[in-house]
Amino acid sequence: METGYVNVAEIFGENVFNDSVMQARLPKKVYKKLKQVVEEGRELDLETADVVAHEMKEWAIEKGATHYTHWFQPLTGVTAEKHDSFITAPTANGKVLMSFSGKELIKGEPDASSFPSGGLRATFEARGYTAWDCTSPAFVRQDAAGATLCIPTAFCSYTGDALDQKTPLLRSMEAINEQSLRLLKVFGNTTSKKVTPSVGPEQEYFIVDRQKYLQRKDLIFTGRTLFGAMPPKGQEMEDHYFGAIRERIAAFMRDVNEELWKLGVTAKTQHNEVAPAQHELAPIYAEANVAVDHNQLAMETLKKVAGRHGLQCLLHEKPFAGVNGSGKHNNWSITTDDGINMLDPGRTPHENVQFLLVLTCILKAVDRHADLLRESAADVGNDHRLGANEAPPAIVSIYVGEQLQDVLSQLISTGAATHSIAGQKLETGVRTLPDFMKDATDRNRTSPFAFTGNKFEFRMVGSQDSVAQPNVVLNTIVAEAFSEACDVLEQAEDFEVAVHDLIKKYATEHQRIVFNGNGYSEEWVEEAEKRGLPNIKSMVDAIPALNTEKAVRLFEKFKVFTKAELDSRVEIEYETYAKEINIEAKAMIDIATKQIIPAVIHYTTVLAESINAVKAACEADVSAQTEILTEVSALLAEARKALKKLQEVTGSAATIPEGREQAVYYRDVVKAAMDGLRAPVDQLEMLVDKAMWPMPSYGDLIFEV
């Protein structure tokens, strides 16, 4: 193992065509033009693009690149790319040149027909377009394929409909930019020119040994174990969380960090998580679209580097039943170009008023669109976490902490807040609103949406999901609340009175969304129901939130999605759900038929032979062997029956109309049949000779990495 010294500052961003590279390599005029385009969101002209493309190519070739690719994020959950080499047609003397034009940089035309479009793209018009997102820098990725210049792009249909995660994200960033600037302006800010949502996604994952992984067809096909009895020791000792990182994992993490740093990803924090073999990686927060791209790179890098270390990275939300699952905490704030974090309680009473308005606008946004936020975190794997007695609950609520809660309560009951429980001196100059201190209250780990001092932490997102959609929703719903507040404040005769009244109104009308208690408790479920908060337990039930009248109005108003785009996403999500459960069911059938049942039969044969052999040899008591044989045989019969049932219901799925109906069928009928098969098989695993069991156990997988 190489233990050489790494100069982080030197390698950081070395494979990124970032600002300093552009400044150094591009002619001054071109550099200025490009900066302008990035900052003001204008269109890049072909002449400038040609110069940028040429320099980008030269730089990439110096890094060993032979190919370039438009790197995009279709609605499959993973990134897609199609590689083209830089070579041109051979000249008369048989030599090739390396070329890359501005047109190739800014626009690509992948065949869109193999990506999900939910009916947006008629098959006769299969063309799709990728367009350079020049706000996310290009990079060179080095791997077994050599080096490839990757150009982050958005992906649209021929008619301009978004077929990806990035297009709506960029649109939502524009929406929140515009409405935040309006809000700042009514508070007298004339200096801020741009407001950007910042995102820091904390990534959880599992690491297992690759040789063992390869013996588990369920992990290979579905990313999670479909069978598996609990090991004698689980996570009850809590000795893994923040524990010392084992050598093998440490070496892997070191490599991951190095790779990510080279790509300009600010890998910052790493630690062991709650479950054995579970870990976390967090970057330093970045602009939302860059953070989304970087999170995709982080997930790809975790998988790739794990392979090199003889390990396998599992990004599934619930690789092991009964063991803590993995999520992705989406830390979100909104920051101006001159460094003001709008979620930071300020130092002056004036800043505090603005903060309170922002806060209560967010209460309103989340309360009104709790269903959309819940939907943004819905994926098939996440159903095993949200609403399944695991963190966090499926009910969206906001944690604001004791101090803020106290201020809100005073506002609601008396219309003024005159004191603050953290005990600091009150600034009573303006409208009797108190001064705040950051981190005046304890942290709450059970809330799905927690205020953590100067940002919100949305904890529902699944570990393998893109963080794009949660941020699209957050940006847009908050933009809407800001816009409605500005509609009032811009017309107000007495600004101070108006803003005070709005804060009080929002705090009062939306207090039901605030919950500071234990989000995992049964009492909360009952309480939330009394408050009328939605408790959406499955992805299938979350999907309709995407194109309700309320959602269509919201997204169309801020030009984030058209109704057609929303309808298409609904269709894609139902389809994805049905497809994924279908794969799981088929994988179970395959594994049970070809591996587990034969292994159990083998064991019963050995048992029966041993009974006969003992009987023939002596008068010894064989009741123990007989008992085991009887028990195993009974479970085998049960498993066989359950297998038949699963085959039958999976086979019938095709007869159910596609879309919602089929998805509901998979959830209610197929999943139940899967559980029916798993139960006897897991019991068998506890009885059958370990040497004969056809795959590594949970214990082998999570304790012996």
Contacts to ligand ADP by CB under 6 A: 198-200, 202, 269, 282-285, 331-333, 341, 454-455
Q: Which of 225, 391, 392 lies closest to 316, judged by CA?
A: 225
CA distance 646 to 665: 13
Q: Which does 182 bind (CB under 5 to 8 A by kind): ligand ADP, Mg ion, none?
A: none
For ligand ADP, give the closer residue by CB, 331 or 647: 331
CB 480 within 8 A of CB 472: no
CB of 273 to Mg ion, least distance (A): 9
Q: Which of 331, 261, 327 lies closest to 294, judged by CA?
A: 261
Q: In the set 133, 202, 457, 584, which binds Mg ion (CB under 5 A)? A: 202
Residue closest to ligand ADP when measured from CB atoms: 200
| Stretch near Mg ion under the rule CB under 5 A, chosen from 28-36, 72-80, 199-207, 403-411 | 199-207
Q: Which does 399 bind (CB under 5 to 8 A by kind): Mg ion, ligand ADP, none?
A: none
Q: Which of 356, 373, 357, 343 lies closest to 533, judged by CA?
A: 373
CB of 498 to ligand ADP, least distance (A): 28
CB of 441 to ligand ADP, least distance (A): 15
Q: What number of other Cβ atoms are within 10 A of residue 193's Cβ?
A: 12
For ligand ADP, give the closer residue by CB, 199 or 311: 199
For Mg ion, give the closer residue by CB, 202 or 317: 202
DSSP code at position 72:
B
For the four alpha carbons of 406, 410, 411 and 417, in that order, the dihedral sign comes to negative
Tokens describing residue 693: 């069991």
3-state secondary structure string across 404-466 = HHHHHHHHHHHCCCCCCCCCCCCCCCCCCCCCCCCCCCCCCCCCCEEECCCCEEECCCECCCC
Residue closest to Mg ion when measured from CB atoms: 202
CA distance 185 to 363: 21
Q: Please tell me whether residue 209 binds Mg ion under the rule CB under 5 A.
A: no
Binding map of Mg ion across residues 364-383, x = CB under 5 A, - = no contact: --------------------
For Mg ion, give the closer residue by CB, 286 or 599: 286
For ligand ADP, give the closer residue by CB, 333 or 697: 333
For Mg ion, give the closer residue by CB, 202 or 218: 202
For ligand ADP, give the closer residue by CB, 242 or 550: 242
For Mg ion, give the closer residue by CB, 55 or 202: 202
CA distance 400 to 363: 10
| Stretch near Mg ion under the rule CB under 5 A, chosen from 158-166, 195-203, 574-582, 608-616 | 195-203
CB of 387 to ligand ADP, least distance (A): 23
For ligand ADP, give the closer residue by CB, 199 or 701: 199
Q: Which does 197 bind (CB under 5 to 8 A by kind): Mg ion, ligand ADP, none?
A: none
- The amino acid at 128: G
CB of 280 to ligand ADP, least distance (A): 7
For ligand ADP, give the closer residue by CB, 332 or 698: 332
For ligand ADP, give the closer residue by CB, 200 or 223: 200
CB of 673 to ligand ADP, least distance (A): 38
CB 693 within 8 A of CB 595: no
Q: Which does 284 bind (CB under 5 to 8 A by kind): ligand ADP, Mg ion, none?
A: ligand ADP
CB of 282 to Mg ion, least distance (A): 5
Q: Which does 455 bind (CB under 5 to 8 A by kind): ligand ADP, Mg ion, none?
A: ligand ADP
Q: What number of other Cβ atoms are within 10 A of residue 445's Cβ?
A: 14
CB of 344 to Mg ion, least distance (A): 20
Instruction: Give residue 70's region: left, alpha or beta (phi > 0; psi -120 to 50).
Output: beta
CB 18 within 8 A of CB 264: yes
Q: Which of 215, 272, 222, 216 lies closest to 248, judged by CA?
A: 272
Three-class SS state of 114: helix
Count of chain residues binding Mg ion (CB under 5 A): 1
CB of 202 to ligand ADP, least distance (A): 5
Q: Which does 341 bind (CB under 5 to 8 A by kind): ligand ADP, Mg ion, none?
A: ligand ADP
Three-class SS state of 201: strand
For Mg ion, give the closer residue by CB, 280 or 682: 280
What's the Cα-to-Cα distance from 387 to each of 37, 230, 328, 394, 570, rounded to whole Å?
Answer: 44, 21, 16, 5, 21
Burial of 543-570, coded b for 16+ CB within 10 Å and e otherwise, reads bbbbbeeebbebbeebebbbeebbbbbb
| Stretch near Mg ion under the rule CB under 5 A, chosen from 139-147, 200-208, 336-344, 683-691 | 200-208
For ligand ADP, give the closer residue by CB, 269 or 348: 269
What separation, in Å, do the N-terminal and C-terminal C-alpha atoms of the chain show? 17
Q: Which does 26 bind (CB under 5 to 8 A by kind): Mg ion, ligand ADP, none?
A: none
Q: Which does 458 bind (CB under 5 to 8 A by kind): ligand ADP, Mg ion, none?
A: none
Q: What is the DSSP string of 580-634?
A: HHHHHHHHHHHHIIIIIHHHHHHHHHHHHHHHHHHHHH-----HHHHHHHHHHHH
Residue 332 backbone phi and psi in degrees, to 5: -135, 135
CB of 294 to ligand ADP, least distance (A): 10
Three-class SS state of 111: strand
CB of 703 to ligand ADP, least distance (A): 24
Cβ-proximal residues to 697 (8 Å cutoff; 6+ apart), any chain? 228, 229, 231, 685, 690
CB of 196 to ligand ADP, least distance (A): 10
Q: Which does 433 bind (CB under 5 to 8 A by kind): Mg ion, ligand ADP, none?
A: none
Residues within the interface to Mg ion (CB under 5 A): 202
